[in-house]
Copies of this chain bind each other. A is one copy, B any other.
Amino acid sequence: MSRIVVVGAGAAGTSAASNAKQFDRSHQVTMIGDFASTAYSPCGIPYVFGREIDSMDKLFLQKPEFYTNEIGLDMHLSTLVESIDKGARTVVCRGGETFPYDKLIICTGWAYVLPKIPGVELDGVKFIKDIERAREIDRELDSVDDVIVWKARPVGLELATGLAHRGKRVTVIDDEPWLLAEFADPDVVKMGQDSLESMGVKFMLSTTLKELKGKDGKLVVAVTDRGEVACQMAFMAADEKPNTALAESIGVKLGSGHGVLVDDMMRTNVPDVFAAGALVETMQAVAGVPVSLLPSTYAYPQGRIAGTNAAGGEMHTRAAYFPWAMEVGKVQIGGVLITETLAKALGRQYTLGEAKGITSARYHPKVEPMNVKLLVDPKSREIIGVEFYGGDGVKERADFLAFAMRKHATVDELANMENVYSPPIGALNEPIALAAKDAQKRLSAH
């Protein structure tokens, strides 16, 4: 029997604690979370704001009792961990309560970097994270007409889509010249911007937010280097940072990406201390660079590996290809890193393959575009990146390509892939194969 303490009750923490207990039920597993809630999907918040989902309550996956009664965890919510006594091997909480551990798993996640913009402390300026706070914002939104979204990042665009759907006047402000600049190329996101604009969303790109001005403590206007925008609420898709302070306080080392450095068993450099979730670094397979702040699809398996290993098992992690996809307005956009922008920044050679495909037979009323942009290594002919934009099926194609890239699929294999043809659900020519054929042509032209 070991005493395993998990700090953090988000996706990584609940996964680590549950898997540790399930691996060996003789362990005493304690999970400590600072928020009052656990086991909900923060990703759903923009859709509740948008009234696509009618209640925050629907975002909860499990009641807290599930973890105590069914899994058998010792759970402490609304409990702030103040320090760790590495010598005594105890976790010390605000109020003085302490929890001794044999193995410690740190799952403290991420935090927003508070932007240095005057007025950011005003009442109407919102950072989306905790669901209980989101409930309040949801109510406040009823009396708001004009909102700004700062930064056209994934959560910013989900908020813009949702708020436009709810009938708000939305302006998106970003220093970057195009949407999703960290994930996608400008040609790939244009269709999403068009879609949001057709829903009434305004974009101020290449635009710096200088100040948020209030009146009687309430937000009234956003000041940019390109003019002012009246607004009663501002959603800040600010920079995020790995929440590493607690880990660092006991000597846990960070990597070059400012996240916690773990080995392939999720162990930190400090004996018996594991970490999992947004605070740790994962190697991006194609770019060969460590990235932190990965989403919850990674927090769950990482938590599983950390929890299982802390409990005495042996599981290993791998580099990540990181497929992603989302709806921007009514358009789906997604892909697998790296992008053309990133390839250029890394000085990486690539050949493009592009296709303007479709999702079903061209004559079927459900037909939608499915555009594909492939990046191919001209020497190995392997796929090193892909982006999709268009109608339904981007998520499935991104999953497929992430798997194919892990299997070192070449452009020739994709050009000759078999595909389903059925008028309502699949075109004669699969868009991925068309893009691969285009890349083959360009490769042979060299």
Residue numbers of A with Cβ under 8 A of B are: 41, 43-44, 47, 52-53, 58-59, 295-297, 300-301, 318, 320-327, 332, 334, 361, 363-365, 392-400, 402-404, 406-407, 409, 413-414, 416-426, 428, 430, 432
> Which B residues lie within 8 Å of A393 (CB)?
392-393, 395-396
The answer to whether B327 touches A53 (Cβ under 8 A) is no
The answer to whether A296 touches B421 (Cβ under 8 A) is yes
The A contact surface, by secondary structure, is mixed
Given A52-B424, A363-B44, A409-B407, verify A399-B430 contact (CB < 8 Å).
Answer: yes
> Which B residues lie within 8 Å of A361 (CB)?
41, 43-44
> Chain B residue with minimal CB distance to A50?
B424
The answer to whether B423 touches A399 (Cβ under 8 A) is no
Contacting residue for A399 out of B47, B323, B419, CB 8 A: B419
Contacting residue for A421 out of B297, B392, B394, B407, CB 8 A: B297
> Which B residues lie within 8 Å of A400 (CB)?
396, 399-400, 403
> Which B residues lie within 8 Å of A432 (CB)?
399
> Which B residues lie within 8 Å of A416 (CB)?
301, 318
A58 and B365 alpha carbons, distance in the complex (Å): 11
> Which B residues lie within 8 Å of A44 (CB)?
361, 363-364, 423
| Chain B min CB distance to A390 (Å) | 12
A392 and B400 alpha carbons, distance in the complex (Å): 15
Given A297-B418, A297-B419, A402-B418, verify A326-B425 contact (CB < 8 Å).
Answer: yes
A399 and B334 alpha carbons, distance in the complex (Å): 18
Contacting residue for A422 out of B59, B327, B404, B426, CB 8 A: B327
A383 and B344 alpha carbons, distance in the complex (Å): 38
A-B contact pairs, 29 of them (CB 8 A): A47-B364, A47-B423, A53-B365, A296-B428, A297-B420, A300-B428, A321-B418, A323-B418, A323-B420, A324-B420, A325-B422, A325-B425, A334-B420, A393-B393, A393-B396, A396-B396, A396-B397, A398-B420, A399-B400, A399-B417, A399-B420, A399-B426, A399-B430, A403-B404, A403-B413, A404-B407, A406-B413, A406-B418, A407-B413
The answer to whether A421 touches B301 (Cβ under 8 A) is no
A361 and B58 alpha carbons, distance in the complex (Å): 10
A414 and B404 alpha carbons, distance in the complex (Å): 11
The answer to whether A363 touches B425 (Cβ under 8 A) is no
Given A399-B400, A407-B407, verify A41-B423 contact (CB < 8 Å).
Answer: yes
The answer to whether B407 touches A422 (Cβ under 8 A) is no
A406 and B417 alpha carbons, distance in the complex (Å): 9
> Which B residues lie within 8 Å of A327 (CB)?
422, 424-425
A296 and B421 alpha carbons, distance in the complex (Å): 8
| Chain B min CB distance to A330 (Å) | 10
| Chain B min CB distance to A315 (Å) | 10
| Chain B min CB distance to A154 (Å) | 8
* Extra pairs beyond A396-B397, A402-B418 (7, CB < 8 Å): A47-B424, A53-B423, A394-B425, A395-B419, A396-B396, A403-B418, A407-B407
A361 and B43 alpha carbons, distance in the complex (Å): 9
| Chain B min CB distance to A135 (Å) | 15
> Which B residues lie within 8 Å of A43 (CB)?
361, 421-423
| Chain B min CB distance to A54 (Å) | 9
> Which B residues lie within 8 Å of A423 (CB)?
41, 43-44, 47, 53
Contacting residue for A395 out of B47, B318, B426, CB 8 A: B426
A53 and B361 alpha carbons, distance in the complex (Å): 11
Given A365-B53, A393-B393, verify A419-B47 contact (CB < 8 Å).
Answer: no
> Which B residues lie within 8 Å of A296 (CB)?
421, 428
